A and B are shown apart, each in its own frame.
Chain A
Amino acid sequence: MNISAPLLLQTLQTTGMKLVGPNVGAELEAADLIPDELRDWLVRLRLLHDVPFAYFVADTELLPAESIRWFYVDRRWTDSLVQGALSVGTVNTDDRLQLTDRYGEIRDALDTAERNVRRREGDPMLAGGAGPISGFILRSRVVSGWPALHVRAFKEEPTEGDGFDFPDNHPQRMRLLRLERLAPAVLLCLFDGIPKEVHIQEPRQGVQFGVEQTVSGSTMSATLPVRRPQTGVNDTGQFVDVHFRPGAPGVVDIQRLERNLAAKGGAGPGPNPVLDSAEYALQLIRFPYRRIYGDPDRLRPDTDVMLRPSVRYVTLANALFTAGVTPP
């Protein structure tokens, strides 16, 4: 069409045409956002997937054997990680200008995506900026010996008792961003927030029978707490020794154990204190053990310290980083 734009414009204006256009702005905005695959990969990077372990723990002395170490995740570190990944292929000033232009938007997209990483199917998408992330590294034989440990984090101390089995949608549950074995005996866990209490529980594999073992040198002895046969609770405070058959490692003298249990009140009501096999099984049942980490001042039994600060950071930061907290 051989027509000049101003002429046509003038024509249209004089004729007083009213044109209604389609609303296509939203689609176009989405077209240039960071691609999904790239975003997902960067989120994985932000949750420190694939990062060599030596970058987490710079020295073995920081994570001795049989230890659990709690931490907060440094956003500046993970941001630097993402910036390094984004810097790939920025050759000239134009590239860098463009990246600088878009960086804020990328970071916000990653913040939102990060919170939805371990979102359960069917849950609403979480919005908003990135909150703090905390976690722990557990280096212990419990990781290798008890695969599929249960780790539960709570925003507030749960009020339910020890026997309670916390469902996934418990209101106080805190989401886990990552729970992964980095090595056969090293477990990394990241929480979406800062929990008040964390439970680490032996995997449930059905009902188990067993004793309480004590190892001394090259021998092993065992005891068994006596349960009240009527209630099934071991509140008697009584323990019986487990006897073994001589010459056979591990073979329990069942008969002697039964007599001892009967003598300590483990037998059910009846004329003669003898345990039948049901009462005997009741005495032997062992429930999965749960270790609670939280605030030990709360007087909850069997609780170990978790994220208790040991140093006043402000003073150190003032002393060490006043000049260098923010890079130029």
Chain B
Amino acid sequence: MPADQVPGNGEFLLYPNIPPMLFAGDYILNATQTVSANGRTAAQQPVDEMDVHISVRSPRLVLPPDQVLSTFPPAESEGSYGSRLPQVVIRRRTLPWERVLVNRPATPALPAIPVNTPWLALVVIAEGEATLLPNVPAAETVTAGITLNGAVDADIGNCLEIRQSMVHRIFPTQKDVPLLAHARHVDINDTELMMGDDDGFLGVVVANRLPVSGRSDGVEIPVKYTACLVNLEQQWDTLLPTAPPPVLISEFVGRDLHVALSTSSMDKHLMGGVTAQTSNTARLFAPAPNTRLLADVQRDVATPVQTKTSGSFSASAVGKGIAKSEVAGAFASEKLHGGVLERFDPTLRFPVLLSWKFTSNGTATFKSLMRGLDSGLLGTKPKRDPVSDAGRLPLELVDTGHVGIAQKTRRGDSVRAWYRGPFVPHPTDDSASARIPLAHAADQLRVVIPDGREDLSLASAFEIGRLLALANPNMVAALLRWRQLHYVTVRRTTIWQNNALFLSAITGYTMTKRVGGDAATELSRAMMRTVSATPTQFLGGPRALVDAGRPLPFDGDSNTLLARAFGLPTLRGDPGTVLQTLQKTPVKVAPITERVGRVPGAAFADLDRTVLTRSLDQRLERLVTESMPRLGVEAPVSKAKGKSKSGTKGRRKTAAPQHDALDAIIERLSRASTRDDA
């Protein structure tokens, strides 16, 4: 394993191949042991052999999505890929070398396959050159008559159905395949390439075909390509052993990519190998099956193909580079000669582990386009093209970047005016003094220059700015709101400023130039702060802790003072005797019941008591039920006068046996009332 070298920052290392220790397949690990002892033979001491079965598994028909690190060109993308070879980067570094291509003895006709030959190839197929069949049972993903030995990894897979002749045309040759796969060790810190890979080793398979775009009569047309990672197992010998004599130029895919093959000419081709096809296209795409497939390319062509049912080869078409299509004839020929075709040009199937589509558009490369760019300041006079600019007035362009444009004045005159956009071909003066003052209407920005014509540049800018603002209701609303806010502020400021001195003095609140909407809040805050800092100034001193008592007048003798205090007219006699007498005099204390009894009328007293009792009962009951609902006290309802007591008693039994103050009051009231009644 190549592990002695590590790529530096931004570097990567390339390896021709990293073959696995074991190819995919089933293995039996067999261990034998011989025991020797004195006087005994090995046969006398047999040790059982032990077989350990090992199955090395590897993707065969389907490449798990997590094994694909990246593809180029990106799937479903469109771009100018004509000078780039498609590639797929696989996470498992050993994958391209994990399988044995074919087990067969080497013969002079079929030489042995070199070691470390990849079993995978990335082929790029233009639209119509072959058919990608999705979801085919595993056994049918290979050409009929071929079986893949060993376990397959999926029940269904995709396969590529392609004619033998097309394999010879677009598949890599046997010599190419080993060159098209390599392993790469990328810098572990190169996060863009890493994307979660753990060791930085990757397997890469490169295609052998540049996905050139189409071109017809000098007009570029996009061509759809499908890149397929195909499994070459057991079908190695269908590939060309070596490449045919090469050419230095490559054709583009033609627009009218049809084969001019009549039934008769094809018969000749198939039977006798006639090379009398004079059309260039026929040289490119000789055999018949392409006819049907290539006809699909016409999907991109706007003009419908004129099909002819007659089978004769159009003589006029021969002279042209591209022959007229005779699709219908070709279809007929394929139907007619399907069996013959199959014998001479069999249909092959290759399992496709991964496929993606992309569109190649244009032949220009980034470099060629960028080098060909015409670079200059805006206002550089372009080279006039006499063909496309024919009939056009010459562009009126001055070196300041102004162009002359036709203007219809408000009076209806057609005149020429000057215009220059925001982009000018010379440095501008951005100092504050050079900035234009505010204009309120576009007409303020119209300038008449000395040649008598108007320069409408800034007026146009004003007007388009106004229109853009009006086109955006949010902005109009924001502008108006802001303006309104300004008016409110000004008004508020004016009012407050009139009282600024007073407010400043009373609260320390300094008026700013503009008073915002929260001025009242700020002012009240300032007020509170000031008041709490010096409360005596605003709210007065605090209340004294002790109030002075009433002065007692001592303006007579003791009898007089005592009499006044008791509310009596006079008290006569010796002060000592008076005091003693007062001490001995009993004071009548009326019990509370007597006061109740003193309410005029016994009925009233009874009513009072009943009402009081009942309301107290109700309150108590509600209190108890609300505070202790879990006791399950059935809330007694006082339906009648007499029931209330029993209800209360019932409650006591269940809930609160304690005799509390409230009970005492009620009982006393009950007793007193009974006595009064008696």
Contact = CB atoms under 8 A, between A and B. Distances in A.
Interface in A240-284: 241, 243-256, 258, 275-282, 284
Looking at A200, A204, A213, the one whose CB has the most chain B CB atoms below 10 A away is: A213
A258 to B, nearest CB: 6
Contacts of A244: 246-250
Contacts of B504: 21
A309 B426 contact: yes
Interface stretch (A117-125, A151-159, A169-177, A300-308): A300-308
Given A37-B474, A64-B382, A58 B85 contact: no
Interface stretch (B227-235, B327-335, B439-447): B439-447
Interface string A53-86: 0011111011110111111111111111111111
B371 interface: yes
Given A102-B486, A135-B423, A77 B479 contact: no
A241 B247 CA distance: 10
B436 A79 contact: yes
A284 B72 CA distance: 14
B505 interface: yes
B371 A32 contact: no
B665 interface: no
Contact of A217 (B218, B451, B485, B533): B218
Interface stretch (B152-160, B345-353, B507-515, B652-660): B507-515
B509 A250 contact: no
Contacts of B389: 61
Contact of A62 (B12, B14, B321, B379): B379
Interface string A291-328: 10100000000001111111101001100111110111
Given A72-B426, A245-B169, A278 B16 contact: yes
**Secondary structure dominating the interface of B:** mixed
26 contacts: A29-B512, A41-B472, A55-B460, A62-B395, A79-B435, A80-B458, A82-B465, A83-B438, A86-B479, A87-B462, A88-B476, A107-B435, A140-B369, A140-B373, A141-B80, A206-B72, A209-B206, A210-B210, A220-B251, A249-B251, A250-B211, A254-B176, A256-B243, A281-B206, A320-B451, A327-B447
A250 B210 contact: yes
A81 B375 contact: no
B291 to A, nearest CB: 15
B457 to A, nearest CB: 6
Contacts of A137: 378, 423
A323 B453 CA distance: 12
Contact of A55 (B218, B464, B485, B506): B464
Nearest to B118: A277
| Nearest 9 pairs of A and B residues by beta carbon | A21-B508, A84-B465, A243-B246, A71-B423, A276-B16, A19-B508, A31-B516, A278-B14, A311-B399
A19 B532 CA distance: 11
B370 interface: yes
Interface in B469-510: 469-470, 472, 474-476, 478-483, 485-487, 489, 499, 501-502, 504-510
Contact of B469 (A59, A88, A165): A88
Contact of A252 (B85, B439, B481): B85
B526 interface: yes
A273 to B, nearest CB: 14
Contact of A220 (B82, B180, B462, B465): B82
Given A32-B514, A87-B441, A322-B450, A145 B464 contact: no
Interface string B584-616: 000000000000000000000000000000000
Interface residues of B, number: 171
B391 interface: no
Nearest to A256: B246
B458 A327 contact: yes
B181 interface: yes
Interface stretch (B35-43, B356-364, B642-650): B356-364
Nearest to B124: A250
Interface in B510-551: 510, 512, 514-519, 522, 525-526, 529-530, 533-534, 537
Nearest to B446: A327
B571 interface: no
Nearest to B365: A213
Interface string A4-37: 0100110011010101111011011101101101
Contacts of B74: 205
A144 B430 CA distance: 34
A95 interface: yes
A22 B464 contact: no
Given A66-B374, A84-B442, 4 more contacts: A9-B506, A84-B462, A88-B469, A249-B252
A70 B376 contact: yes
Nearest to B253: A249
Contacts of A103: 438
A99 B436 contact: no
Interface string B372-386: 111111111010000
A95 B480 CA distance: 10
Contacts of B439: 80, 83, 87, 327
Tell me which of B84, B451, B525 has the highest count of chain A C-beta atoms within 10 A of its own C-beta.
Answer: B84
Given A84-B463, A220-B250, A311-B426, A246 B245 contact: yes
A103 to B, nearest CB: 4
B285 A247 contact: yes
B175 interface: yes
Contacts of B374: 64, 66-68
A168 interface: no
A100 interface: yes
A246 B249 CA distance: 9
A323 B522 CA distance: 53
Contacts of A52: 464
B212 A220 contact: yes
A164 to B, nearest CB: 10
Contacts of B376: 67-70, 305, 310
Contact of B422 (A15, A77, A165): A77
A277 B178 contact: yes
B505 A206 contact: no
Contact of B514 (A29, A62, A67): A29
B179 A68 contact: no
Contacts of A288: 366
A286 B15 CA distance: 18
B85 to A, nearest CB: 4
Contacts of B170: 245, 248, 251
Contacts of B143: none
B296 to A, nearest CB: 16
Contact of A206 (B193, B442, B529): B193
B94 interface: no
Contacts of B325: none
A212 interface: yes
Interface string A96-123: 1011101100010000000000000000
Interface string B399-426: 1100101000000000000011111111
Nearest to A25: B512
Contact of B373 (A61, A67, A255): A67
A213 B363 contact: yes
A238 interface: no
B283 interface: yes
B367 interface: yes
B423 A56 contact: yes
A233 interface: no
B101 to A, nearest CB: 16
B510 A85 contact: no
B651 interface: no
Contacts of B250: 219-222, 244, 249-251
A127 interface: no
A25 B212 CA distance: 70
Nearest to B216: A218
Nearest to A26: B512
Given A208-B84, A253-B243, A50 B468 contact: yes
